Structure 1
Amino acid sequence: MDRRVFLKSAAFAGFSVATLPATLLRANADGSKILRMAYGAEVLTLDPIKTTYGADILIQGMMYARLLHANADRTEVGPGLAESWDIADDGKTYTFHLREAKFSDGSPITAEDVAFSWNRMRFQKDSAYAAPFQPLTKIEAKDARTVVMTLDRKFTPFLTLTEIWNTGIVPKAAVEKMGDDAFAKAPVTSGPFKFVELKPGDRVVLGRNEHYYRQGEPKIDGVEFRYVPDDNTRVSMLQAGELDVCLGVPAPRMAELKAAGFRADPEPSSTTYDMLINHSAEPFNDLKFRQAVSYGIDRTAINAAVTLGLGTPAISIMSPTLDFFDKSLPVIARDVEKAKALLAESGKAGASFELIQNAGSADEEKAAVLIQAQLAEVGITVNIAKIDSTQAWTRLADGEYQAEMNWWYNETRDPDNALRWCVWGAGDNKSYYTRYNNETVDKLIDEASGEADNAKRAELYAQIQKTVVDEVAQVALYHPTWLNAYAPSVKGLVLNVGLQFSSIGGTSLD
């Protein structure tokens, strides 16, 4: 889920914490070990419940601690702020026992803060991503160090969800005193880094949180997270020594960077790159037309051209890194004649549609141009519109689009929240704004989430995957790897499948 710009307005002034030394802003100029990284999207909010946008998720993962903590590749989750937990025999009650910890301002992190943070995330009306937590009905502080959460049914994925970014713990007192808007611009944090400065349209600067609960972490003095929308500009900055980490490297540049001594190895991701389509608008409101488009596209060729073989052609909307991925599904082979026949059956011969591409994305441009050429052979005209990512998101969320190049990922290796994000019609985001809605799929998702038997879960998820492929819920194209590059001085930093730097606390700069 790129979740590109959940908040379409970033029109707020820069904020800083005046008590922190201004020298932090001069990354590494005075010997301070500041990790400088750049990404192709702008940070829009620092409140973990107010966003589903990639840039926000990345920076907030370094700012807020969660109940559980994932290992570097997110194959396991273990103690975090909760040093232990109990699960009731019926699977409906989770009791978390907190360790002693402090916020970045030195105030203690209590069960009341945890309950407040989770109640905001789960029940506040403007919480952006409460959908995965629907079974959770009650969160309460039993005492200063104990939090009890009650679910209305057995929900197998629940424990893994206690580590995703929007469950980051915030201080109740600070949020209530400052108000949501002010807190989102200059927050008090609970993770390895504290807030220093926000420069809208430019960067976020973080400093070392001396009160972080993990002893000896973080090992560096801070992070400078810059907004650099052009892919190749970021690469040039890395080569020039202006960055330590380049997030989002065009595939053709990876070998070049590796040969130059940078760490530039593909990292496993849970991403699906796709063409989102609006089921409520012409011409994608017709199944035969959607199928014509699907059969007219060569996923193998697009994957080869865009990822240079570093990704895999899509056979499912789910990434192969997720549990219960159905390996038996075939890649939909391009069949121009079948696509033409389906187009004729749809009654939309000679149809055209606008395909939105986010300006500055080299990979999106390459894929969009290939789709345009491939569908022209079917008799479908594709008009590519390169627009700013914020405008693209606004049109997507408002349903004022026909098709858009996009991507999404999953925070965990369990597929439940992935499917609730992209094909669960009952969700607030309308199946990632495609307006796809199949009540049978919704019921299967709910059934699978409550099933403890992995074999039975696998059968249910296989059924879901086949259905949404047949109905072309989205036009899944390929599953890329994370393509990032790191300066040789960066040690121990890994971007995991859930778009988090879980190892950031132990990262060092030589």
Structure 2
Amino acid sequence: MTPLRMRGLFKSAAFAVFAAMAAAGLTAPASAESVLRVAMTAADIPDYTGAPDQGYEGYRFAGYTLYDALALWDLSSSDKAADIKPGLATSWTIDPANSKRWVYKLRQGVKYHDGCDWNADSAIWNFDRVRDPKSPQFNPRHVGQMGTYVANIASVDKIDDYTIAINTKVANSLFPYEMAMYYMISNCAVTADKNDYKAYAAAPSGTGPYKFSSVSPHERLELVKNDKYWDPARVPKHDRLVLLPMPEASTRAAALLSGQVDFVEAPSPDTIPRLKGAGMQIVTVPYPHNWDYMFRMDVPPFNNLKVRQAANYAVNRQDMVDMLQGVATAATQTLIPSQAWYGKPVTYDYDPDKAKALLKEAGCSPCKIKVGISTSGSGQMQPLPMNELVKEQLDEAGFEVELVPMDWNALIGVFLSGAKGTEYNAINFSMAPIDPVQGILKKWMTSYAPPNCCNWGFYSNPAVDKLGAEATAEFDPAKRDALLTQMNEAVVADASELYIVHDLNPRALSPKLSGFVQAQSWFQDLTPIVVAP
């Protein structure tokens, strides 16, 4: 099937479904209140109690809006890859006498939305809600969503009211990145609710730039600006934020065109010309994103390097870029060129004849594989037509691909449980290699295989593990980056996944909006957006 014919798969009849949406109250309010209405790709409201689900889209809209972490992502620029900056901690330093002890100075004068004080006691309480099964606030569901970020913590000591020391199990020079992903919630609110998180969900409380207003299950989450946010520069420039799950790309575009939303995630490439013609703003920027197939490597066929190489040679990435009308770039590895650990690894150019020869050498013809895919979801771009194109090209090279579609949260469940014991030889699960911890270490080190984290396919290479251990123990940034680069190059040489494309993060905005800065990040800051009347 040609890319032109594939584009037709994006089309649907969703442009005629909005009477019900208007009846549900998605039209603009009559009051002078400025409201930003966002159409998410999520199929449901992400968890908003401090441990988001729905992938990193949940973090983007129900995490960093309501809550803060010890470190935050600097999302103020579109010119460079985002890095971390002080958040609820003003600084962090390694103990010169102990490479496993981090001293965090906490920000003073910060209050949760319910008036509770942020301090060392609150920080330790928050770590215990995931770390300590004996604590009254322990939340098993939060463990599933957030446990990986605190798995290396051995203990947390209170030095004074605004200083804590975090003792890690092993030395890890990259530990501060983990602390940018772990949200702090009001200990006062949970305690007042007698540690009942269902009750807490009725009035959740963080320290973030937005406060909870209301939720309509499966329909909308409404937040209001926090006028007393500790960083005056990030007090939202609008009064209310309405988050709406809309998994169908054409539905999101139609909602924008009809004026029922103002901000659309991941517009379908086929709709972009129409959106531009209607005066909508289309914004794109490269960012750390990888749309790939993760291989299961404990059993055939992908435990064979030749089969993994064959898959990479079988895919014409430019066809995918063309089908997406330029809102993606061809991927030759997990990372993007602007990241320090990109290196100069081997590349897999389109060569279907070589793919066929490798499959023949591997004795896998036809090479049958079952691939789990999602119908939508955070970072999944346009998964159905994209996966059909990948299937077509793999089949032409000698594979026999069975695609198994499911909703996004179901695929997240498959990912979190790991490949062993599943029916899948691969999954199409986009990832955010936003830092070397998430993008390299947790994807490829043997120790991070499930249930410990994110090495879904149980990839294991002693040389890679050695480089990863050396990198985490190295506190000199230049030396550490060199080790991480070597590690990344080794992983690519192993054809450790099927590299396909990097997203360019397209979004469509109403002409009424101004002030948005599209960061080179999976996460975005909505607070600067001004909504004109």
Q: Residue 215 of structure 2 aligns with which residue?
A: 198
Task: Give the distance between the partners of 1:156 and 1:508, measured in 2 at CA.
Answer: 39
- Against the structure 1 CA distance between its residues 321 and 226, is the aligned structure 2 distance closer, same or farther, given a 3 Å change threshold? farther
Q: Residue 394 of structure 2 aligns with which residue?
A: 375
Shift of the alpha carbon at 1:390? 3.1
Q: Residue 505 of structure 1 aligns with which residue?
A: 527
Matches within 5 A, 1:203-352: 203-215=220-232, 217-306=235-324, 308-326=325-343, 328-352=344-368
Shift of the alpha carbon at 1:253? 3.2
* 1:63 partnered with 2:80: no
Task: Give the distance between the partners of 1:422 and 1:202, measured in 2 at CA.
Answer: 34
Task: Give the distance between the partners of 2:412 and 2:150, measured in 1 at CA.
Answer: 24
Which of 206, 231, 245 is 1:189 aligned to? 206
Query: What letter corresponds to residue 87 of structure 2 in structure 1?
Result: G
Task: Give the distance between the partners of 2:458 and 2:132, measured in 1 at CA.
Answer: 23
- Alpha carbons 1:329, 1:466 under 8 Å: kept: yes
Shift of the alpha carbon at 1:141? 2.8
Which of 91, 99, 113 is 1:104 aligned to? 113
Task: Give the distance between the partners of 1:76 and 1:334, measured in 2 at CA.
Answer: 33
Task: Give the distance between the partners of 2:95 and 2:406, measured in 1 at CA.
Answer: 51
- Alpha carbons 2:440, 2:488 under 8 Å: kept: no
Q: Which moved more, 1:57-66 or 1:419-428?
A: 419-428
Shift of the alpha carbon at 1:33? 1.4
Q: Which moved more, 1:68-77 or 1:366-375?
A: 68-77
- Against the structure 1 CA distance between its residues 247 and 78, is the aligned structure 2 distance closer, same or farther, given a 3 Å change threshold? same
* 1:178 partnered with 2:195: yes
Task: Give the distance between the partners of 2:237 and 2:496, measured in 1 at CA.
Answer: 45
Task: Give the distance between the partners of 2:469 and 2:512, measured in 1 at CA.
Answer: 46
Structure 2 spans left out of the alignment, 5+ residues: 1-24, 134-139
- Alpha carbons 1:132, 1:417 under 8 Å: kept: no
- Against the structure 1 CA distance between its residues 195 and 235, is the aligned structure 2 distance closer, same or farther, given a 3 Å change threshold? same
Q: Residue 162 of structure 2 aligns with which residue?
A: 145
Shift of the alpha carbon at 1:136? 3.7
Q: Residue 93 of structure 1 aligns with which residue?
A: 102
- Against the structure 1 CA distance between its residues 506 and 367, is the aligned structure 2 distance closer, same or farther, given a 3 Å change threshold? closer
Task: Give the distance between the partners of 1:77 and 1:443, measured in 2 at CA.
Answer: 26
- RMSD over aligned CA atoms reads 2.9
- Alpha carbons 1:116, 1:172 under 8 Å: kept: yes
- Against the structure 1 CA distance between its residues 437 and 49, is the aligned structure 2 distance closer, same or farther, given a 3 Å change threshold? farther
Query: What letter corresponds to residue 35 of structure 1 in structure 2?
Result: L
Question: Secondary structure of the equivalent of 1:218?
Answer: coil
* 1:31 partnered with 2:32: yes
- Alpha carbons 1:25, 1:205 under 8 Å: kept: no
Which of 409, 419, 424 is 2:440 aligned to? 419
Shift of the alpha carbon at 1:168? 1.8
- Against the structure 1 CA distance between its residues 453 and 305, is the aligned structure 2 distance closer, same or farther, given a 3 Å change threshold? farther
- Alpha carbons 1:314, 1:331 under 8 Å: kept: no
Query: What letter corresponds to residue 245 of structure 1 in structure 2?
Result: F
* 1:475 partnered with 2:494: no
- Alpha carbons 2:82, 2:519 under 8 Å: kept: no
- Against the structure 1 CA distance between its residues 137 and 358, is the aligned structure 2 distance closer, same or farther, given a 3 Å change threshold? same
Query: What letter corresponds to residue 98 of structure 1 in structure 2?
Result: R
Shift of the alpha carbon at 1:242? 0.7
Q: Deviations over 1:115-150 (max 9, x none)?
A: 222344556662434435555433233222222323
- Alpha carbons 1:491, 1:509 under 8 Å: kept: yes
- Against the structure 1 CA distance between its residues 27 and 278, is the aligned structure 2 distance closer, same or farther, given a 3 Å change threshold? farther
- Against the structure 1 CA distance between its residues 253 and 330, is the aligned structure 2 distance closer, same or farther, given a 3 Å change threshold? farther
Task: Give the distance between the partners of 2:368 and 2:482, measured in 1 at CA.
Answer: 38
Shift of the alpha carbon at 1:100? 0.2
Which of 383, 406, 416 is 1:387 aligned to? 406
- Against the structure 1 CA distance between its residues 142 and 439, is the aligned structure 2 distance closer, same or farther, given a 3 Å change threshold? same
- Alpha carbons 2:90, 2:107 under 8 Å: kept: yes
Task: Give the distance between the partners of 1:284 and 1:379, measured in 2 at CA.
Answer: 14
Per the normalisation by structure 2, the TM-score is 0.82
Question: Secondary structure of the equivalent of 2:145?
Answer: coil
Q: Residue 519 of structure 2 aligns with which residue?
A: 496
Work out the percentage of aligned pairs sharing the same amino acid.
24
Query: What letter corresponds to residue 439 of structure 2 in structure 1?
Result: A
Task: Give the distance between the partners of 1:318 and 1:95, measured in 2 at CA.
Answer: 30
Shift of the alpha carbon at 1:229? 0.7
- Alpha carbons 2:345, 2:492 under 8 Å: kept: no
Q: Residue 173 of structure 2 aligns with which residue?
A: 156
Q: Residue 17 of structure 1 aligns with which residue?
A: none
- Against the structure 1 CA distance between its residues 130 and 447, is the aligned structure 2 distance closer, same or farther, given a 3 Å change threshold? farther
Task: Give the distance between the partners of 1:252 and 1:432, measured in 2 at CA.
Answer: 34
- Alpha carbons 2:346, 2:493 under 8 Å: kept: no
Shift of the alpha carbon at 1:292? 1.9
Shift of the alpha carbon at 1:245? 0.6
Q: Residue 20 of structure 1 aligns with which residue?
A: none
- Against the structure 1 CA distance between its residues 175 and 495, is the aligned structure 2 distance closer, same or farther, given a 3 Å change threshold? farther
Shift of the alpha carbon at 1:320? 2.9
Query: What letter corresponds to residue 506 of structure 1 in structure 2?
Result: P
Task: Give the distance between the partners of 2:174 and 2:381, measured in 1 at CA.
Answer: 36
Shift of the alpha carbon at 1:419? 1.8
Task: Give the distance between the partners of 1:356 and 1:150, measured in 2 at CA.
Answer: 39
Question: Secondary structure of the equivalent of 1:339?
Answer: helix
Q: Which moved more, 1:481-490 or 1:453-462?
A: 453-462
Shift of the alpha carbon at 1:477? 0.9
Q: Residue 87 of structure 2 aligns with which residue?
A: 80
Task: Give the distance between the partners of 1:242 and 1:192, measured in 2 at CA.
Answer: 24
Per the normalisation by structure 1, the TM-score is 0.85
- Alpha carbons 1:277, 1:284 under 8 Å: kept: yes
Q: Which moved more, 1:224-233 or 1:35-44?
A: 35-44
Which of 382, 388, 407 is 2:430 aligned to? 407
Task: Give the distance between the partners of 1:406 and 1:160, measured in 2 at CA.
Answer: 22
Moved over 6 A (4+): none
Shift of the alpha carbon at 1:194? 1.4
Q: Deviations over 1:314-369 (max 9, x none)?
A: 1212233433212x235311222222222122222112222333225772223222
Question: Secondary structure of the equivalent of 2:326?
Answer: coil
Q: Deviations over 1:362-392 (max 9, x none)?
A: 7222322222222222221122333322333
Query: What letter corresponds to residue 347 of structure 2 in structure 1?
Result: V
- Alpha carbons 1:187, 1:195 under 8 Å: kept: yes
Structure 1 spans left out of the alignment, 5+ residues: 1-23
Aligned length: 481
